[in-house]
Chain A
Amino acid sequence: MTIEFEAPKPIVQMQVMLKTVAENMMRSTSREMDENEHAIPWDYVEFMHTAMRSMGGGGGLTINDDKPKEGAEKRPPIGYQKLASQIEMLSWGDVGYYLITPGGGLGAAAVAAAGSPEQKAKFLERFNGDKPTYAAMCMTEPGAGSDTSAIRARAVLDEKTNEWVINGEKIFVTGGDKSFTEYEKLGKGFIVVWASIDPSAGRSGMRAFVVEAGTPGVKITKLEHKLGIRASDTASISLVDARVPFENVLGKPTVEKTTTGFKGAMATFDATRPLVAASGIGVARAALEFLKEKLQESGIEIRYRLPRNKLTSIEKDVIDMEIQLRSAWLLTLKAVWMADNKKSNALESSMSKVRAGDVTTKITQKAVEILGPIGYSREFLLEKWFRDAKITDIYEGTGQINRLVVARQILGYTGAELR
């Protein structure tokens, strides 16, 4: 091992391409998408599906093993690093758009983290198909957000038909509509629903179930209107006696005294938290670049390398923003680098999310402040990025929850010792 900060070539090349997409397909219509909440930009969806398939990474934004060709020189895996870099660049373009990039999203991530090899083969193959395809993850309920142990959704095995019967109410499902509603232009998606198979067992009774699009008894009941990321649909989903095949349960179908069921969800978060961080960082970079551009138009150049006491207040702010942004990105890179190298990264994952949640909100908020009326005006996208950025500190564990994870790791405490 060594300490090295050279971006791998495949990542650099991919970023050049995605930057073009970001500029031409996203930025040009960002405002329109923001003002027409719930509209689906089919051009983008279809273009991205085709483009990502032809790049050989499988359809959409999905982690691929990035196996070197036979006979080729062996090189370290960079799948997660590549994915984080893709997400950062797409979110730099428009994070709402990024969130509706076709692919397995959090749903597929749950299958990848908690599913058997057969389940992975069965459920994940579809993202390589002819049509853009989505999957989503349903954890949150009206009465259970951060406290996932309060989940009420229930799955009962009907032994006669060997099916799980699921009842419950899920909210805030990112991509829930595109994953569950059977649009003609889309492939058949699925949602992963977390429910308890044994409420007396607490967290160890929790399991994730793959629920195919269009399953009877499952309904999209609402699409939320939000502060930002308006291109991304956020669905409420109700499940009433919804039946899914026995083999759609991820992890063991029986309850033991261990917390194996929930470990699946936690493993998913270790993998996805740095990706959320990457996304927020993309938004913050867009805001910082815009800020510097506007300052430059007014003849203000940031005088790097001057002692702090000689800088103007605006220069100080910008320099602090650079420090925050870069260091957050490096934390994120380290977390995904660990994932690529099969090192356990629960601590680094949550650290990157804590830092990204902090700095993306701070940077976008400060940028709006510094630019005054220009920052606040809807003529420019900066005010939108301010709204978009805030979600970074909320989903995939709020800033507080991730602080708890970090603190437990460094203190060696269990959840019971530090609530």
Chain B
Amino acid sequence: MYSFEPNEEQQMLMDAVGKYAANDLRPAAHDAEEGHEFPMRLVSKGWELGLLQASVPEMYGGFGDRSAVTGVLAVEEMAFGDLAGALSVLTPSLFATSVLLAGSEEQKKEYLPKIVEGAWAPYTAALIEYSFDFDPNELKTTAKAQGGGYVLSGEKVFVPFAKDAEALIVYANLDGVTQGFIVKKEAQGLSVSTEREKLMGLNALPMYRVKLENVTASRLGGASGHDFGLILASMHLASAAAALGVARSSFEYAKSYAKEREAFGVKIAQKQAIAFMLAEMATELEAIRLLTWEAAWQLDNGKEEALTSAYLAFTGACDMAMMVTDRGVQIYGGHGYIRENPVELLMRNGRGFPMLLGLAIV
């Protein structure tokens, strides 16, 4: 069957997350960006919504099963509030969901209960490298088998909460294949930059560079490793969902503004030039949303085409986010260019998705 409506449980979750996004994240977004800090109080509140906890089975301390469909629904709702806030709340998932998807039984037992049962704690992951043609399937950070274990060397950028991280997953190139490795805080040869990354957007999310010089690490999934494709697809989907949230936020602001602002004696929304932009934004959003849902559904149902579909949804979402957030600013006119108005930050965030792959996972 085809069906296009979240189930009751998903709807409840979306309502709860949506409320948090609208009431807590949205009002905090501007000051957090300007002050380069997201209030931890709000991060904890978001953590208590239990998105990650609900996707981890009981035997590992959670209370549910992972579903990519539920994941994308929740991430869109949360990112609607604020991208930096949402990514802060979801950072521990970067570690935990990858362990859940690809870890050995032992790794799951070691990490999942302590992450999901406790308060929000900085567990994170490092994927991105600093080059224009960064390719998650051809990483420059290397892993080599040594003794019974592995050693990693290389440099990662944009690693959220790396400074305080208890442990992180580092993705590295092992004989031409990308694999995740668990690196502990105290590992020899691991160094985290003292300065935070300075980016065009996302300044409320503390991100760091991470250097690895012959760092000993344990491979996700143990000696036989894991399928990185699954993790990458889950990252593609999370990014697509976050892009939807950011774009929808800009669209909603622009729509309300257009119904208030007057020019030439009418509301600007009554001018076709504005109304058509809004119609196209809405259509684009819905089109990419369905593409994302379908890919997530395919992933949940073990369909062969899921990995390509997730890639396509992500690729489409990157363009959609730029298109929609650019128009958000355009509809505000000169006022859109002023940082006091939310569409300004949303446009900076809207540009980021192609380079921020790996900062969220469902």
Chain A contacts to B: CB under 8 angstroms? 1-8, 75-76, 78, 81, 304-310, 319-320, 322-323, 326-328, 330-331, 333-334, 337-338, 348, 351, 354-355, 400, 403-404, 406-408, 410-411, 413, 417-419
Contacts and interface: CB of A to CB of B under 8 A. Distances in A.
A81 B4 CA distance: 13
Nearest to B287: A327
Given A5-B294, A327-B291, A404-B275, A354 B283 contact: yes
Contacts of B312: 304, 319, 322-323, 326
Given A310-B135, A413-B270, A407 B276 contact: yes
Contacts of B69: 3
Given A351-B286, A417-B270, A418-B275, A3 B308 contact: no
Interface of B: 1-7, 10, 69, 132-137, 232, 255, 258-259, 269-270, 272, 275-276, 278-280, 282-283, 286-288, 290-291, 293-294, 297-298, 301, 307-308, 311-313, 315-316, 319, 354
Contacts of B6: 1-3
Given A5-B294, A308-B354, A323 B316 contact: yes
Nearest to A327: B287
B73 to A, nearest CB: 8
B354 A334 contact: no
| Of listed A6, A7, A338, residue having the most chain B CB within 10 A | A6
B270 A330 contact: no
Given A3-B7, A306-B135, A411-B255, A330 B294 contact: yes
B1 A76 contact: yes
Contacts of A334: 4, 286, 290
A149 to B, nearest CB: 18
| Of listed A2, A8, A309, A328, residue having the most chain B CB within 10 A | A2
A136 B2 CA distance: 31
Given A2-B5, A354-B279, A407-B278, A330 B298 contact: no
A405 to B, nearest CB: 8
Contacts of B3: 1-4, 76, 337
A384 B299 CA distance: 37
Contact of A406 (B133, B283, B315): B283
A5 B308 CA distance: 16
A5 B68 CA distance: 14
Contact of B4 (A3, A310, A326, A400): A3
A351 B282 contact: yes
Contacts of B134: 307, 309
A305 B307 contact: yes
5 contacts: A305-B232, A307-B354, A326-B312, A338-B4, A354-B280
Nearest to A306: B135
Contact of A327 (B133, B259, B290, B354): B290
Contacts of B258: 411
B138 to A, nearest CB: 9
Given A307-B134, A308-B354, A351-B283, A323 B1 contact: no
Contacts of B276: 400, 403-404, 407
A331 B286 contact: yes
B283 A8 contact: no
B270 A406 contact: no
| Of listed B258, B287, B319, residue having the most chain A CB within 10 A | B287
Contacts of B286: 331, 334, 348, 351
Contacts of B10: 3
A417 B280 CA distance: 19
A414 to B, nearest CB: 11
A411 B259 contact: yes
A406 B279 contact: yes
Given A304-B311, A354-B280, A417-B270, A4 B297 contact: yes
Contacts of A410: 255, 278-279, 282
A331 B283 CA distance: 9
Contacts of B311: 304-305
A310 to B, nearest CB: 6
Nearest to A4: B3
Contact of B133 (A307, A322, A330): A307
A8 B307 CA distance: 22
A404 B10 CA distance: 32
Given A310-B133, A418-B275, A4 B2 contact: yes
A354 B287 CA distance: 11
Contacts of A322: 312
Contact of B2 (A6, A355, A408): A6
A308 B315 contact: yes
B133 A6 contact: no
Contacts of B313: 323
A222 B313 CA distance: 47
Given A309-B134, A323-B291, 8 more contacts: A2-B7, A78-B1, A78-B2, A307-B133, A327-B291, A334-B4, A407-B272, A407-B275
Contacts of A333: 2, 4
Nearest to B354: A308
A74 to B, nearest CB: 13
A259 B288 CA distance: 35
B247 to A, nearest CB: 14
Contacts of A331: 283, 286-287, 290
A353 to B, nearest CB: 10
B26 to A, nearest CB: 20
Nearest to B267: A417
Contacts of B279: 354, 403-404, 406-407, 410
| Of listed A8, A81, A307, residue having the most chain B CB within 10 A | A307
A413 B135 contact: no
Contacts of A355: 283, 287
A370 to B, nearest CB: 18
B290 A411 contact: no
List the 8 closest A-B pairs by CB distance, nearest first. Answer: A1-B5, A327-B287, A330-B290, A407-B275, A406-B279, A323-B316, A407-B279, A4-B3
A307 B308 CA distance: 12
Contacts of B298: 5
B282 A406 contact: yes
B267 to A, nearest CB: 8
A323 B315 contact: yes
A202 B2 CA distance: 41
Contacts of A338: 4
